[in-house]
Structure 1
């Protein structure tokens, strides 16, 4: 094990060069600092030193949160990781009980008034009925940024409140994002939805197809990626990266991280290999997100503090499928150009164009913060994209079913 002062350093880089943010992380922290007590965030702390990799990971704690209490964040620098953890805690705290206007009405009455309605049938929870046309429900207004139409969606599908025992809708942080502006939050929310869709489709593919997507991350020729790999290898760990990019064409990767001896052990635990995923218009940035998230997941287990990880998680054996990923042979990344980088507006427009080209016609952004806040939190809903595993009435949508049929 390396001592802290022996850990290799990442190449010097301005974190803003590798992020789609309008402000530096230090500026963002300055914007949100006064809001932490209001939303019950009591502690923000550095976890990096609990592991021997040395990539920054931070934690933010909100003891009375309506979902999870412990939130983690990662990044290239300490400031990146600190703001990542802080903003995730704020996102979830705000989404637990957002200060937004609602309307209680039936879908039929809203449509009779000429309003566009999406009842989000794909997010109905297991054991629950779909929304009836004449059923009274609480609705909230969002905006379909593709059609420019104001769109009403069920309030319960937007919030993140795990206190009800029998929720009508499956609630998830998927598509929940924050930023210095609503545009920034919207971009990161839609990228997360694309990432989750891509990972779901990749998991549907057969094992042979998945293993063929293993790539050598050094082939991206990026100094930050090279620095991350050096730190990983110096900690006696190995990385496997897979290109899970879907037909949408936005770069998506998933990374698996485990001990170098993982493939020769007689038995291994579930927690011995951690996973991270990322999506971005730039393949290098998507890769960095995936790798740093896998490192963050490892520290989540080491810290043992996150309240959605249960004791039996530490006793579960490593699935053979995951072990096969660690045995996969990496190949160089095929030539792929970075697309649409530039101002946030251009990046957002590029992402929307890719979604349209893939026959996605609805991207609904629901703002969750007042307009006078110095930051924004939004829930981004893309009903036609696949969702991560969860307790829903419908496991897959049309894209997942089609992928399953063509992967036989």
Structure 2
């Protein structure tokens, strides 16, 4: 995955699993006009409604961008058509921005040159984890020259130079980022008309991926299934909208298991997991979804919607980087779910209610995250802001690769 000058090594997140944004957008921007403006700016030729390909009934739409580099198809989900369309377009905006370098590379040099110039910088190895993987370390050495851009540290706003290849993933012929040492990933990127909401989304996504590494290091094991499943009564009382969706899915032939995956030594934010099991044992027998939010109800709903989108991403067949679950794994997981009783309560999940990106970062700092940086990735001409975050020490779960 490493290589010569220019371009990028890419590893987009599986299924483009991101949260719905339309509810917050409606507070400041009329959704239908925004959808039209985004479509034109992004070069999206069609938004396909995938919902009818499955009987789950949860809205999933696909934005088609024939000239895309990273992906030509981006899926989005939501509780309404507008939610799903906007979600798919925001996914597309994130990729368009990552593909568009333009004049945003501000320096070309080596770590040694930056150090001699007295410039604060984070080398490739520090940035990788939340923002990709260092796959060719010898191409990120002290004397290797590559492209750099200036991000801003959260909290202080201080400038910090970061390798451009952890921010951008352009076509090889369009920009020279230097020898490619990093496999780029879309993790930690958010799009929204409000830049603070974009940053908040990006932070929560980075947290989700790191928390999953901690919570499910070996995947869905029997101890997790036996100890983390939420009771239906607790859902009905503390997350009624989620309980209603579970009931609708049950009527359509699905078993839904929702989990509190939050660890005691986590980041002070709720992490939810959802397993959507097809009773008819069709070609997609089990789909999973995960979400980190600032309230348990939001996290649970987002995880459930993500599971539905993951299922439809497989059914749709437009992605070549997804693989079916092994038959034996499906059988073992079904058996474990049948024997696993629900014992957890929604009230056991943290509920910090952080409404701004600063409040989210304050929670992270209180739980040992000492530094993070943000970069405005927005491509020219977009009616939304696209923000990329880098959190040293964070990782990306293999469940989402």
TM-score range relative to shorter protein: 0.7 to 0.9
Instruction: Note closer, same or farther for the CA distance 1:371–1:241 as it changes in structure 2 (3 Å cut).
Output: same
Residue 257 (structure 1) aligned with residue 269 (structure 2)? no
Cα offset, 1:57, TM superposition = 1.1
Cα offset, 1:195, TM superposition = 0.6
Residue 330 (structure 1) aligned with residue 342 (structure 2)? yes
What's the counterpart of residue 112 of structure 1? 116
Residues paired across the two proteins, number: 364
Q: Distance in 2 between matches of 1:258 and 1:25?
A: 37
Cα offset, 1:231, TM superposition = 1.4
Q: Distance in 1 between matches of 2:139 and 2:182?
A: 9
Between 381-390 and 240-249, the greater mean CA deviation after superposition? 381-390
- Check conservation: 1:58, 1:81, Cα contact below 8 A: yes
Residues 283-309 of structure 1 deviation map (CA, whole Å, 9 limit, x = unaligned): 000000000010111111222223433
Q: How does 1:30-49 map onto structure 2 within 5 Å? A: 30-31=33-34, 33-49=36-52
- Counterpart of 1:274 in 2: which secondary structure? strand
Cα offset, 1:217, TM superposition = 5.2
Choose the corresponding residue for 2:327, options 298, 303, 317.
Answer: 317
- Check conservation: 1:57, 1:296, Cα contact below 8 A: yes
Cα offset, 1:186, TM superposition = 0.6
Q: Distance in 2 between matches of 1:103 and 1:390?
A: 35
Between 28-37 and 242-251, the greater mean CA deviation after superposition? 28-37
Residues 28-69 of structure 1 deviation map (CA, whole Å, 9 limit, x = unaligned): 452353343343211112111221121111111112211121
Q: Distance in 2 between matches of 1:36 and 1:237?
A: 34
Instruction: Note closer, same or farther for the CA distance 1:256–1:334 as it changes in structure 2 (3 Å cut).
Output: closer
- Check conservation: 1:36, 1:90, Cα contact below 8 A: no
What's the counterpart of residue 141 of structure 2? 132
Q: Distance in 1 between matches of 2:255 and 2:233?
A: 13
- Counterpart of 1:116 in 2: which secondary structure? coil
Choose the corresponding residue for 1:143, options 130, 152, 158.
Answer: 152
Given the two structures, how large is their TM-score scaled by the length of structure 2?
Answer: 0.81
Choose the corresponding residue for 2:260, options 209, 222, 243.
Answer: 243
Q: Distance in 1 between matches of 2:39 and 2:297?
A: 32
Cα offset, 1:112, TM superposition = 3.2
Residue 366 (structure 1) aligned with residue 366 (structure 2)? no
- Check conservation: 1:176, 1:380, Cα contact below 8 A: yes
Instruction: Note closer, same or farther for the CA distance 1:236–1:31 as it changes in structure 2 (3 Å cut).
Output: closer
Given the two structures, how large is their TM-score scaled by the length of structure 1?
Answer: 0.80
What's the counterpart of residue 401 of structure 1? none
Choose the corresponding residue for 2:69, options 66, 69, 75.
Answer: 66
Residue 383 (structure 1) aligned with residue 381 (structure 2)? no
Instruction: Note closer, same or farther for the CA distance 1:359–1:240 as it changes in structure 2 (3 Å cut).
Output: same
- Check conservation: 1:98, 1:369, Cα contact below 8 A: no
- Check conservation: 1:125, 1:167, Cα contact below 8 A: no
Q: Distance in 2 between matches of 1:234 and 1:26?
A: 35
Instruction: Note closer, same or farther for the CA distance 1:387–1:146 as it changes in structure 2 (3 Å cut).
Output: farther
- Counterpart of 2:244 in 1: which secondary structure? helix
Residue 186 (structure 1) aligned with residue 199 (structure 2)? yes
Choose the corresponding residue for 2:79, options 70, 76, 80.
Answer: 76
What's the counterpart of residue 399 of structure 1? none
Q: Distance in 1 between matches of 2:262 and 2:349?
A: 13
Choose the corresponding residue for 1:282, options 288, 295, 303.
Answer: 295
Instruction: Note closer, same or farther for the CA distance 1:217–1:305 as it changes in structure 2 (3 Å cut).
Output: farther
Q: Distance in 1 between matches of 2:43 and 2:279?
A: 41
Residues 148-182 of structure 1 deviation map (CA, whole Å, 9 limit, x = unaligned): 22111111111234769x94212111112101122
Instruction: Note closer, same or farther for the CA distance 1:299–1:318 as it changes in structure 2 (3 Å cut).
Output: farther
Cα offset, 1:337, TM superposition = 7.1
Cα offset, 1:92, TM superposition = 1.0
Q: How does 1:12-31 map onto structure 2 within 5 Å? A: 21-24=24-27, 27-31=30-34
Between 295-304 and 189-198, the greater mean CA deviation after superposition? 295-304
- Counterpart of 2:364 in 1: which secondary structure? helix
